[in-house]
């Protein structure tokens, strides 16, 4: 099993290309199930989750081909992929596939809308909480679907087309908003989604669906209106840059010190998080090619933060921010409101010398003057990269084990950081 070895203490300077967003690419890929034409997606990242979803879509009959790279960009950091679901050969998403990636459950929406039926395995729990699918099922039922759960599978059927309706999300859910957006695009009549997620990835999906012929307004607000159409066509669409990767590397610069251009990054996708990072003492400067982040060696200021749905501070940056706060000059409080059990990185950061105490869903971080390298273990995707951030500033050697978590969401992380002067390498077993 691969590991990542880091020797801390180096400032990082240079340029880091920001990849396409995993959280945008996955629902866009699933949207290919809605049409028998080709959907071409640009800026698709090389990630384990993307490869797994390609296999899952193939099980339903989706063909794909890779076209190469965007102009003037390293092939390693971008692909253009054509997805064609000319005919759906199987409306069942089996447990052995869905259990490997929760987002694969989202195929239930397009399959039901296009084929009138879907049998999809329940995804089960995960390392950061149960993350139930109740809202997905309630929303589909509001559109006229009949839902049964048997032997660990959700069996969804409809007589003919789904029917537009008004649905109010009891709580904000990015995944359920994705699914109902796709399903309602082919429903008969108008659907109004209230208390919908506002994340940039929702907007990216809605823009793609509109390019395919859907009629969606209000994406990016809490009320989305979808006027269902009879059929969708193919389209060409670009995956937005990854705001979580952007925030992660911005925090890495704030932690290690240095001066880095995050190429292709868009400040509007994570302004709330950038404002928090700036409060720690790092400079955040929009430039023509992306975002410039620099810290000249001054201390890291402690900042309290609470995770919130967009446009608030993202839960997917909470672990990274905790890594940064381990060396802040004072105490900070980090409160997690989105997922339970998302503090598993605390014990691993403690192995590096961090002082963190937990009080319910709040972590109190008492910054230390120095961290010391140690072997640590990744527990989930975002937790794993918090250990990398801490390791960049720790004295001596840090070895991060179980880095397959990193490969799910960060494209060639060690290459990007080592290209800017960090001492970091992958050790293959």
Residues tagged in the binding site annotation for phosphoenolpyruvate: 22-23
Q: State the Cα–Cα distance between residues 109 and 230, nearest whole angstrom.
A: 16
Give the single-character DSSP code of 361: T
Kindly list the distances between the CA atom of residue 158 and the CA atoms of 161, 162, 175, 196, 298, in Å, as whole numbers in the listed order. 7, 7, 21, 24, 61
Strand partners for 168: 194
Q: Pick from 89, 84, 97, 101: which is nearest to 29 by CA?
A: 84
Residues comprising the binding site?
A: 22-23, 102, 131-135, 171-174, 316, 338
Which strands form 283-287's sheet, in the order they lie side by side?
A: 12-17, 258-263, 290-295, 283-287
Query: Which member of 115, 122, 126, 192 is catalytic?
Result: 126
Kindly list the distances between the CA atom of residue 252 and the CA atoms of 249, 273, 409, in Å, as whole numbers in the listed order. 5, 14, 16
Q: State the Cα–Cα distance between residues 406 and 30, nearest whole angstrom.
A: 22
What are the backbone dihedrals phi and psi of residue 251, each rounded to the nearest 5 degrees, phi first? -70, -35
Decide if 420 is catalytic. no
How far apart are the two ends of the chain, measured CA to CA in Å?
A: 5
290: left (phi over 0), alpha (psi -120 to 50) or beta: left
Q: State the Cα–Cα distance between residues 33 and 112, nearest whole angstrom.
A: 10
Degrees to nearest 5, angle at CA 248 with 365 and 83: 140
Which active-site residues does the annotation give? 126
């Amino acid at each position: 099993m691969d590991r990542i070895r880091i020797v801390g203490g180096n400032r990082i300077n240079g340029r880091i290309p920001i990849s396409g967003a995993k959280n945008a690419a996955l629902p866009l890929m699933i949207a290919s199930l809605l049409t028998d034409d080709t959907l071409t997606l640009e800026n698709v990242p090389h990630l384990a989750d993307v490869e797994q979803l390609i296999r899952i879509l193939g099980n339903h009959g989706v063909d794909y081909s890779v076209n190469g790279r965007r102009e003037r960009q390293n092939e390693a950091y971008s692909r253009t992929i054509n997805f064609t679901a000319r005919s759906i050969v199987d409306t069942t998403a089996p447990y052995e596939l869905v259990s490997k990636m929760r987002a694969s459950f989202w195929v239930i929406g397009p399959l039901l809308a296009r084929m009138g039926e879907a049998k999809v395995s329940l995804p089960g729990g995960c390392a950061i909480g149960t993350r139930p699918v109740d809202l997905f099922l309630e929303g589909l039922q509001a559109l006229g679907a009949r839902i049964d759960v048997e032997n660990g599978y959700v069996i969804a059927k409809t007589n003919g087309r789904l029917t537009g309706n008004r649905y109010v999300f009891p709580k904000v859910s990015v995944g359920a908003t994705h699914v109902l957006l796709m399903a309602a695009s082919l429903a008969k009549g108008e659907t109004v989604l209230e208390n919908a997620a506002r994340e940039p990835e929702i907007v990216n999906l809605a823009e793609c669906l509109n390019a395919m012929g859907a009629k969606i307004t209000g994406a990016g607000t809490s009320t989305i209106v979808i006027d269902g159409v009879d059929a969708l066509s193919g389209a060409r669409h670009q995956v937005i840059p990854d705001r979580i990767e952007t925030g992660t590397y911005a925090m890495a610069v704030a932690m290690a010190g240095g001066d880095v251009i995050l190429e292709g990054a868009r400040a509007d996708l994570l302004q709330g998080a950038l404002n928090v990072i700036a409060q720690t003492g790092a400079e955040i400067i929009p430039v023509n090619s992306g975002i410039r982040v620099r810290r000249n060696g001054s201390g890291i200021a402690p900042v309290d933060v609470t995770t919130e749905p967009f446009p608030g501070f993202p839960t997917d940056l909470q672990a990274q921010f905790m890594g940064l706060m381990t060396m802040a000059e004072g105490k900070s409080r980090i409160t997690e409101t989105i997922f339970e059990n998302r503090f598993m990185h605390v014990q691993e950061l403690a192995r590096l010398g961090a002082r963190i105490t937990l009080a319910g869903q709040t972590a109190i971080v008492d910054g230390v003057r120095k961290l010391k390298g140690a072997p640590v273990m990744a527990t989930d995707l975002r937790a794993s990269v918090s250990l990398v951030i801490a390791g960049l500033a720790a004295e001596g050697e840090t070895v991060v084990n179980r880095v397959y978590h990193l490969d799910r969401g960060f494209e060639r992380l060690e290459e990007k950081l080592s290209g800017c002067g960090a001492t970091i390498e992958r050790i293959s077993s």
